[in-house]
Amino acid sequence: MLPLPGHSQVLTVSETGTQVRDNQAVASPRTRIGRRVRRNERPSVGIAVARTGAWIAAVIGQVVHIIDPKTGSVRRTLRFEDDVDEFGSTPDGTKAVSVVGDTVTRWDTGSWTVVAEYHIDKEMRATSKARWSPDGSLLAVVTDDQRLRILDEPGWAALTELRLDSEIHGCAWLDDSRLVVVGGRGVYWLAFQRP
């Protein structure tokens, strides 16, 4: 496990939710998080970390725990009606996005309140291959039907769309106007200009 930016302490949590430091178990109030996960029920799990190191999001089924990386305490618990498909952050950590079914929710990470909710079509749900531009204003999404879409974050309007002649495995922003796309037949460097 790598330390968070600006922090030298490494925090490890066992399957039972017990915090482990220097190979020694430490009593932790978060033990109850691990105990909520029953052995015979394996909910979807995931983690998202703000690049600034301001928070960690632990996704367990229908629940997202927002954790303070300095103390290891749970700051906020977000609950949803269905399993969380995706949870991510803008590069500056000021906004987060959750995807549950066909609903995308944008969160203010200062107060963890809902800023906006949007509904998306089925082909847009492959957001595990989505990447924020460095300024947090654009989202590049690889959809289930193998298209790369550049979305304008405030309203999720598709500004442009690209389809390669092979699979698209992923994408990454180089800066606010350039991105790289890895396809089945090569690597593509793309320049994007707002309309």
Supply φ then ψ for residue 128, to 5 degrees: -65, -15
Tens digits of residue pLDDT in 31-75:
444 444 444 455 678 888 887 889 999 999 999 999 999 999 999
DSSP 48-104: EE-TTSS-EEEEETTEEEEE-TTT--EEEEEE-SS---EEEE-TTSSEEEEEETTEE
Q: Report residue 32 as tokens.
A: 């109850």
By three-state DSSP, how is residue 116 classified?
A: strand
d(CA 104, CA 118): 5
Task: Determine the straight-line distance between the first and last CA of the chain, rounded to whole angstroms.
Answer: 42
Evaluate if residue 80 carries a pLDDT over 50: yes
Residue 6 has pLDDT above 70, yes or no: no
Least confident of 13-22, 64-73, 99-108, 135-144: 13-22
pLDDT, residue 56, reads 93
pTM greater than 0.85: no
Asked if the model's pLDDT at residue 19 lies above 50, the reply is no
Q: Which helix (H) or strand (E) holds 175?
A: strand 168-175
* Residue with the larger pLDDT of the pair 41 and 100: 100
Handedness of CA 96, 48, 124, 158 (dihedral sign): positive
Residue 77: how many CB atoms within 10 A of its CB?
A: 12
Q: How does pLDDT run across 86-96, given as a tens digit for each residue? A: 888 877 778 88
Q: Is the pLDDT of residue 125 over 90?
A: no
